[in-house]
Amino acid sequence: MAAPGSTANPASTIHGGPTVSSLPGGNAYQHGPCLNGKSALVTGASRGLGRAIALCLAASGASVAVNYNRSPGEADAVVELIEAGGGKAVALAGDVADPADCDRLVADTIARLGGLDILVNNAGITKDALIFQMEPNDWLDVMRVNLGGVINCTRAAMRHFMLQRSGAVVNMSSVMGLRGWTGEAPYAASKGAINSFTQCSAVELARFGVRVNAVLPGFAQTDLVAGLTAKGGGKGILRQIPARAFARPDDIARVVAFLASDSAAYMTGSLVTVDGGASTVLGVGAPL
C-alpha cells in the first residue's frame, strides 16, 4: 500500500527529478555517480529500499548481485528489470544472519560478476512493540539480522577488499538509531549498533583503501514502514517531518550510489541522514 502523499503532495518541494522506473532503459542517473565496471552486492534487494538501491546502482553502471532470503520471484524480477535496461545482475539466495551464507554470497558474487567493489548491507527486519510488551527474544531476533547481517557480510567481504586495497561498504541504518520513538526499541537499538559498527569498521579499514559509511533514512515508502504510515493516513508522522513528505525509495538509493562511488572518495565513517529533516527538528509547531 502506498504511503499518503506518495503521488501528489503539492506542499512538498523536496521531490523532483525522474526515477529509474519512469525512464526508458532506466537511465535516470546519467548525470549521477559513475559506477561503470564496478560489481556490487546488495543484501535484501528483492523489495523496498534494497530493490531501489539495486536498480540505482545498475543504472549507474554497476553489475549487481541481488540478494534475497524468502522472495526469489521478486529478486528475479529485479534482475530482469536490470537486464532489460542493459545491465548485468544475478539473484543470490542467502540469510545474512548466517555467517556461512554471507561467505557464500560474497564468493558467488565474485565468481559470477568477476569481482566485488561495493557492498550494501541493507537486509533488515523489525519487531515493533512496547518494551513492556516485548517477547523476550524479539530484540535478539532483530539484532541477529540487522546488526548480525552487517557484521557477517562485512567480514565476508573484507578480506577481498583489503587484498585489492579498495572497496566501498554502505550500511543501511536509520534515523531511529539516533533518537527514541515509541515501540521501536529493538529496531532502534540495532540501528544504533550499526552506526557504531560503521564508525569502527571505517577506522580499521581506511588504511586498506576501504570506505565504510552509513545511510540513515527517515520515513520512506516501503513495506517496512507501511504500518506506521498507514495509520490515520500517516498524517501524524508527516506533521513531524519538516519536508512534509515521505521519502521515495529513489531518494535514498541515490545517496547510496553516491557513497558507493568515487565521488565520495574521501568520505568514510560518515552517518548520512536522508530524512527530510525529521531528525533535525527539535519540536513541532512554532515556539511562540
Partner 1 sequence: MTEEETLNAVCEAVTDALGLDEDEVTPQSTITGELGAESIDLLDILFRIERLTGTRVQAGDLANYIQGGMTDEEFGTENDMVSAVGLAHLKTVMPQLDIDALVDSLPAEEVISHLTVANLATIVTRYAAVPAG
Binding site for partner 1 (CB under 8 A): 162-163, 165, 204, 207-208
CB of 157 to partner 1, least distance (A): 14
Q: Which of 166, 195 has the CB closer to partner 1?
A: 166
Q: Which of 204, 223 has the CB closer to partner 1?
A: 204
Residue that is written with C-alpha cell 580499521 in the block:
204
CB of 104 to partner 1, least distance (A): 18
Q: Which of 125, 162 has the CB closer to partner 1?
A: 162
- Residue of 29, 68, 187, 266 marked catalytic: 187
Determine whether 187 is an active site residue: yes
Q: Which of 34, 162 has the CB closer to partner 1?
A: 162
CB of 207 to partner 1, least distance (A): 6
CB of 163 to partner 1, least distance (A): 6
Would you name the residues annotated as active-site residues?
Answer: 187
